[in-house]
Structure 1
Amino acid sequence: MNIKDFLVIKKATENLGEGELKPYLHFILAKIKLLKDNEGASATVAQELIESYDELMGLQEKATFWSPVPTCTHVHIVIGDSFAGSMKQALRELGVEETHKLISLGENYAIGPLGLDSSEGRKERSNWFSNNIIGGFEEYDGFENEYNQLLGKIDLIPEGAEIIIWTSSNACEQVGMRHAVHLLRGKPNAISVCDACAICEELYNRPDAFITYRHSGEITTQKLREAVTRLNNKRTLDSAEIQQLEQEWKDITKQSGSLRIWSDKAVLEVPAAYYDQYILEKLDDLKPPTGDDGFLKSARLIGEALGYCEQYIGDSYFEYRLRELIYNGVLEIKGVPAGMRYYSIRRKRNK
């Protein structure tokens, strides 16, 4: 399997929510178990797995179902493929998928240059991901095509539809929300901004059991479904608020850095190496397995850094900074840095 085939599979599965993806996982694992227990069933099971693959990949083709249509009453704009999949499932379970449509902004707005308003800026972003993020954009033409598809979906929103932009307290979704407001400029539609994480924390958190969500993609479909039903009291943005958010988007795109965080209810640009010391501290806290000469799997370190980080940055950025620490001679490597699963690291030792 070549890299393009892998990226197609990756994109198809990332666009699915928890409720969509789990049944396929259960089915595939059950069939693998059957193969292990009964070799005679291999041909039949293989055919069933192929059919499952075809169905799963076909779901990507059905994505156009969620594009706005003239008869829709609501358009939900979400940031992140994971959250998009969960929102689709929630709308299906509520039985409103014919009138409630969805547009997903798949960018991780917390990282990389953000000059998305020009072809030159988009090329710069595409190149930055190609050069720094494993599994990032392989070809600028593909990235440009996806962006034009997004603009096309925005144009499809009918004048009478209510627009709900979902966000939460992290740089990715906050910047994405401002980008959405910018893309909607000139639209006469009523625009509301809703925080799914805040709604679910208010609905479900108790003194003895609570969850603090870092991004909307962490919310289960069941809880998200309940959050969608609480939209009756949502407040529409006035013209001054829309202008302010659009100006903030323009200000953010003028920044030259590649990393942003959410602090004191504002998006802040921070140095690219902002988390390097944090990563090293996590490495020092972890104990490498015995007999491996002090080397620790990079995936374990990144998982630890991701799990304890108060910000939502994404594992790909931590992996990028880990490689930079290797290139700068701070860390030593064993293996090939083709992906976090393929190499281990340790502190540089003096010889």
Structure 2
Amino acid sequence: MLTIKKATDSLGDQDVRAYLRLVLGQINKLKVQEGPLEEAVAELIELYDELMGFHEKKAIWDPVPNCTHVHIVVGDSFAGSMKQALKGLGWVETHKLIVLQENYATGPLGDLDSPKGRKVRSNWFFDNITEAFESYTEFEEEYNELLDKLKQIPEQAEVILWSSSNAREQTGMRHALYLLRGNHNAFALYDACALCEKLYNRPDAFIEYRHSGEIPTKKLREALIRIDGSGKLSIADVTRLQQEWRTISEQAGVLRTWQDNEVLTVSADYYDQYLLEKLDDLAPPVGDNGFLKVARLIGEAVGHCPQYIGDSFFEYRIRELIYNGILEIKGIPTAMRFYSIKRKRRA
């Protein structure tokens, strides 16, 4: 237990959240019995081993001069699955990994590649998002660490970008290509969700993934084996995607969606009516005067939303609906589990 305490005490908040998500994902597999139980148990043990040697193993994924491939992914959940898949294939020595941890679907993106723009983004999260907040200093450190890793990519390595049908990954992929402007590497782009759906979906068993982090490691491993070179990007493709990043980042707004193969900036209240409809559909507990726990509403909203937005943004919009007099509140809104809501009665 002392060893565990030392290992966890050395983690930053971002790392703690990443490991917690991965652990809960594996526990969920055990709970719903998705695939062999031995596989989920083995992956939990691998996560434990990785955590115990966190500092020693953290740099194992950084690009090195002799690597042949560098995978760029968006989100810690997908990164965890990708690491396990690459390990299982025995590719760790030649395949490296760079993770973009930002949720590009939410928050301002203007001038993100300048200290001023990053300060604006950091301040917005501080003012509006109660959970998963990073200080501006942590935000800067994370950004500079990303730039350092991108600079380490050797010229001979193929850069494989991963993105699926959601605004977070699509926007992040474009940002990565923009940051790599001037590099002469070969680039390729693949959709892990589409690959796995093509491999495994049948008429009697169909899964539609909303983001790459939902893909089990075993399926991702099989998808990696079947990469056939069809995702190679031409110079024109790279230039177009880099320009699309410029266009997205120049648009004012704090919410983006993926529609008709395009990242669209929409108004912050885009999902407000959706949240209210979900609230109306849910039955509050008996004897609680019609109040419903916010955590339950957000769980329902996240579970049924075709877009991957994240629970923090939904919680922010619920507080806005309270401030605007549409919802009543009971409790203290320091976190979604601490308060309940209901429709405000009209006079």
TM range (shorter): 0.7 to 0.9
Which residue of structure 2 lines up, in the alignment, with residue 31 of structure 1?
none
Residues 240, 271 of structure 1: alpha-carbon distance in 2 compared, 3 angstrom cutoff: same
Per the normalisation by structure 2, the TM-score is: 0.87
Residues 22, 132 of structure 1: alpha-carbon distance in 2 compared, 3 angstrom cutoff: closer
Shift of 1:333: 0.9
- How far apart are the structure 1 equivalents of 2:183 and 2:213? 28
Letter in 2 for 1:134: T
Letter in 2 for 1:276: D
- How far apart are the structure 2 equivalents of 1:299 and 1:250? 36
Shift of 1:297: 0.6
Residues 338, 212 of structure 1: alpha-carbon distance in 2 compared, 3 angstrom cutoff: same
Deviations 1:197-225 (A, max 9, x none): 00000000001110111000000001011
Unaligned 5+ segments in structure 1 are 27-51
Aligned counterpart in structure 2 of residue 66 of structure 1, from 61, 75, 91: 61
Q: Secondary structure at the match of 1:233?
A: coil
Unaligned 5+ segments in structure 2 are 1-7, 30-46
Residues 223, 25 of structure 1: alpha-carbon distance in 2 compared, 3 angstrom cutoff: closer
Shift of 1:342: 0.8
Counterparts of 1:79-94 in structure 2, within 5 Å, are 79-94=74-89
Structure with larger Rg: 1
Residues 73, 127 of structure 1: alpha-carbon distance in 2 compared, 3 angstrom cutoff: same
Residues 321, 60 of structure 1: alpha-carbon distance in 2 compared, 3 angstrom cutoff: farther
- How far apart are the structure 1 equivalents of 2:298 and 2:52? 29
Counterparts of 1:312-323 in structure 2, within 5 Å, are 312-323=308-319
Which residue of structure 1 lines up, in the alignment, with residue 34 of structure 2?
none
- How far apart are the structure 2 equivalents of 1:157 and 1:134? 36
RMSD: 2.4
Kindly tell me the number of residue pairs found equivalent between the two proteins: 322
Shift of 1:235: 3.1
Whether contact under 8 Å (1:19, 1:89) holds in the other structure is no
Does residue 214 of structure 1 match 2:216? no
Letter in 2 for 1:15: A
Which residue of structure 2 lines up, in the alignment, with residue 12 of structure 1?
15
- How far apart are the structure 2 equivalents of 1:24 and 1:277? 33
- How far apart are the structure 2 equivalents of 1:302 and 1:341? 10
Whether contact under 8 Å (2:295, 2:337) holds in the other structure is yes
Does residue 258 of structure 1 match 2:254? yes
Counterparts of 1:153-302 in structure 2, within 5 Å, are 153-302=149-298
Which residue of structure 2 lines up, in the alignment, with residue 36 of structure 1?
none
Per the normalisation by structure 1, the TM-score is: 0.86
Shift of 1:98: 1.1
Letter in 2 for 1:113: P
Q: Secondary structure at the match of 2:301?
A: helix
